[in-house]
Copies of this chain bind each other. A is one copy, B any other.
Amino acid sequence: MLIAVDASGGDYAPQEIVKGAAAAASEYNVPIALLGNKKILTMLAGKYEKKTNLSIIHAPQTIACDEQPVQALKAKPRSSIVIGVGMVKEGKASAFISAGSTGAVLASSYMMLGKLTNIQRPALATVIAVNPEHPFILIDAGANADCIPAYLAQFALMGSVFAAEHLNIEKPRVALLNNGSEEGKGNRLTRESHQAIKLTPGINFTGNIEPQDLLANHADVVVTDGFTGNIVLKTLEGFGENFGKNVGWQQSHHIPHELQGSALVNYAKVLFLTKRADYKEFGGACLLGLDGNIVVAHGRSKAKAVKSAIHLAVRAVELDMVSSIKQAMLKIAQNTAQE
């Protein structure tokens, strides 16, 4: 296994990316290739003791977040994103992780890696563990802003496979994010998607879930279009950030000595929950539905988030997520053919 990591993408690249990659290489005992400016990366990687697992691949071009993705990919064939996705395509890397332009990562992945049979649109799946006792998968977290019901039915299936494998849940409860719990509620897309998901075999569909119940252990997989999913994700992030800022814990992260007994326990809990909602702690999102493992990390990822994203990629490789999704789609195709 070799994990390719984009060391030039993201707000805190390359320092925090290299730091996170070094920690992951050591902790998960996995070889990592850092993609970016060789000179700078060599210097940065040299700082870390256990650097034996780190290699460097020269990628002199960087795609900025405000560049038009498809044009940028054509103009910059030696960018870390093009090289990284190419390594996955050619089997030189088992997975590629980037905190750079999500648009460019998605576009290059769509263009270079094939879509799996019966998947019309790949989707981003992320684990939300704000409530640490009850993590759940959100799919699509932001790949497809405009969707049709058939896409959401495919997201439901991919999310179910992901939850079964990654969260180790036997029959994951799959729910559709909606603004009402009853079947007829919602906008046109959710009303029609409800029916489409209901008709999809092989998933344990439990109906609609309202956002106020997201953290209340009502579902293992929450299906939504990429626009709404991204809005929910960013709303949670903003809340965590604001909360942390207001109570001044983002800076300090220490427990004052005046605290005793239950107050101490509560204080620690708040600290933990605030950190959980912090984007810097999110572990990135898996792009599902393509013939290759791609993980998109938050643009503002610091070392800890980079490490988490690498962990997610390692899991996807170990669990062979691509084959699992392929098999699930094949099973459905066979079922449908038999009908």
A residues sitting closer than 8 Å to B (CB atoms) are 66, 130-131, 142, 145-146, 177, 179, 182, 186-188, 190, 210-216, 225, 227-228, 230-232, 234-239, 241-243, 246-249, 256, 258-264, 266-267, 269-270, 273, 277, 279
Contact = CB atoms under 8 A, between A and B. Distances in A.
Contacts of A262: 256
B238 A213 contact: yes
Given A130-B242, A242-B131, A269-B247, A179 B234 contact: yes
Given A234-B210, A261-B256, A266 B242 contact: no
B227 A186 contact: yes
B214 A235 contact: yes
A177 B236 CA distance: 15
A162 to B, nearest CB: 22
Nearest to A248: B266
A216 B263 CA distance: 29
B263 A238 contact: no
Contacts of A214: 235, 238
A212 B279 CA distance: 10
Given A214-B235, A215-B239, 9 more contacts: A66-B182, A131-B246, A145-B179, A215-B238, A216-B238, A232-B232, A256-B263, A258-B261, A258-B263
Given A215-B242, A235-B232, A259 B248 contact: no
A246 B246 CA distance: 19
A179 B230 contact: yes
Contacts of A142: 179
A337 B30 CA distance: 69
Contacts of A264: 258
A236 B234 CA distance: 11
A243 B273 contact: yes
A254 to B, nearest CB: 11
B263 A146 contact: no
A225 B231 CA distance: 12
Contacts of A263: 256, 258-259, 263, 267
Going nearest first, the 3 A-B pairs with the smallest beta carbon separation are A212-B238, A211-B234, A145-B187
Contacts of A225: 187
Given A131-B246, A188-B146, A277 B212 contact: no
Contacts of A261: 256, 258
Nearest to A214: B238
Contacts of A243: 243, 270, 273
